[in-house]
Amino acid sequence: MLIKRPSDVIPSEITPESVYKKRRDFMFDGGRALLGVAAGSLPSIANAQNGEALKARAPAAMRRSPPAAWWAEKFQNIKPAPDREPYFTGETLTPYEDVTIYNNFYEFGMDKSDPATRSGEFKTDPWSVEITGEVEKPGTYHLEDIIKPHDIEERIYRLRCVEAWSMVIPWIGFPLADLIKRFEPTSNAKFVEFETIVDAETMPGINSRFAIVRWPYREGLRIDEATNPLTFMAVGLYGSYLPVQNGAPWRLIVPWKYGFKSIKSIVKINFRETQPNTTWEDLQPNEYGFYANVNPQVHHPRWRQDMERRLPQTLFSRPRN
């Protein structure tokens, strides 16, 4: 993560995509012998894991039905993840239980377990998304109308938190670039801004006296980052629909950036000519830069970035040389 203000950042300080694609050179998966099934042995996690079986294994708070019948149709034909980078890491998958009970989603609470245990009243149907700004087709769209035209596929990405923990997750979704094309951004669209839903009735963290965020949660990307082939809109994981605590009904995944960039439960996408203000950059600009590319050579003031804890491990491991 870059800890400078964006205006102070020069291009040479931004982790190049080529470095990210070789990320296994600097991030060590020390838990390969400790974690369940090796991803490399499965042609498709979506086909190898049955969604109902996954939900049956999950805590009661996660045993929810998909938000609408049309979701089931989308999950009938998931394109398997390729067996090569950059859409497949070859690393051991983080167990489903850890992916779905260890989350940062402060709208439900500050503790890692709060999103799973306190999100039972959250509703994802109906869901609409506002498209605004420098586009030819602005408007408010039903999520069904946004997602239905897209074929969904599986991608196995590493999610790396600035807090120095990480997971390897088989996401289900489609490239953000495909969605952006449909709204026809103008030549003035230099950035894409995202907002999370604010629902005080079903998100108890919003009214908490311990809340530190100025809602709604906001994130952004440059337009070239948003249209990068790796940037992904996730609607599911492990072959099943996305649990609330992981950002249902859809969320952003930017695998070469720290996890706080991958905003959850999106209700607004705004195409801008100027760089947007983002939530963590507004809160602590000396610690959270706009770009936030994974960079083991630039440490956060509170967490070293050349070490990571691959969940469910409890010890830090150094990256490969």
The answer to whether position 148 is within a domain reads yes
- Asked if residue 97 has pLDDT above 50, the reply is yes
pLDDT 10s digits, 141-168: 999 999 999 999 999 999 999 999 999 9
Mean pLDDT over all residues of the chain? 81
Give the model's pLDDT for residue 314.
64
For residue 116, name the pLDDT band (cuts at 50, 70, 90): very high
What residue has token string 């000519």? 273
For residue 315, name the pLDDT band (cuts at 50, 70, 90): low
Among 171, 165, 170, smallest CA distance to 310 is for 165
Give the model's pLDDT for residue 47.
42
Mean pLDDT across 276-305: 86
For residue 96, name the pLDDT band (cuts at 50, 70, 90): very high
Q: Is 220 helix (H, G, I), strand (E, B) or coil?
A: strand
Give the model's pLDDT for residue 187.
97
Give the model's pLDDT for residue 147.
95
- Asked if residue 23 has pLDDT above 80, the reply is no
For residue 64, name the pLDDT band (cuts at 50, 70, 90): low
Compare 304 and 237 and report the one with higher pLDDT: 237
pLDDT 10s digits, 217-229: 999 999 999 999 9
DSSP letter string over 125-187? SS-EEEEEESBSS-EEEEHHHHHTTSPPEEEEEEEE-TTSEEEEEEEEEEEHHHHHHHH-B-T
Preceding amide of 126 cis, omega within 30: yes
The answer to whether position 296 is within a domain reads yes
Cα distance between residue 80 and residue 275, in whole Å: 35
What residue has token string 């440490």? 299
What residue has token string 């790796």? 230
- Asked if residue 282 has pLDDT above 80, the reply is yes
| Paired residues of 309 in beta bridges | 165
Phi, psi of 63 (to 5 degrees): -85, 75
If one counts the domains in the chain, the total is 1
Compare 248 and 19 and report the one with higher pLDDT: 248
Cα distance between residue 288 and residue 261, in whole Å: 10
- Asked if residue 265 has pLDDT above 80, the reply is yes
Mean pLDDT across 53-59: 49
- Asked if residue 251 has pLDDT above 60, the reply is yes
Residue 20 domain boundaries = 6-310
Mean pLDDT across 244-250: 96
- Is the separation of the CB atoms in 155 and 168 below 8 Å? no
- CATH value at residue 116: 3.90.420.10
Give the model's pLDDT for residue 65.
57
What residue has token string 């190898």? 48
The answer to whether position 139 is within a domain reads yes
Helix or strand run (H / E) with residue 313: none
Give the model's pLDDT for residue 62.
52
pLDDT 10s digits, 168-198: 999 999 999 999 999 999 999 999 999 999 9
Cα distance between residue 282 and residue 320, in whole Å: 34
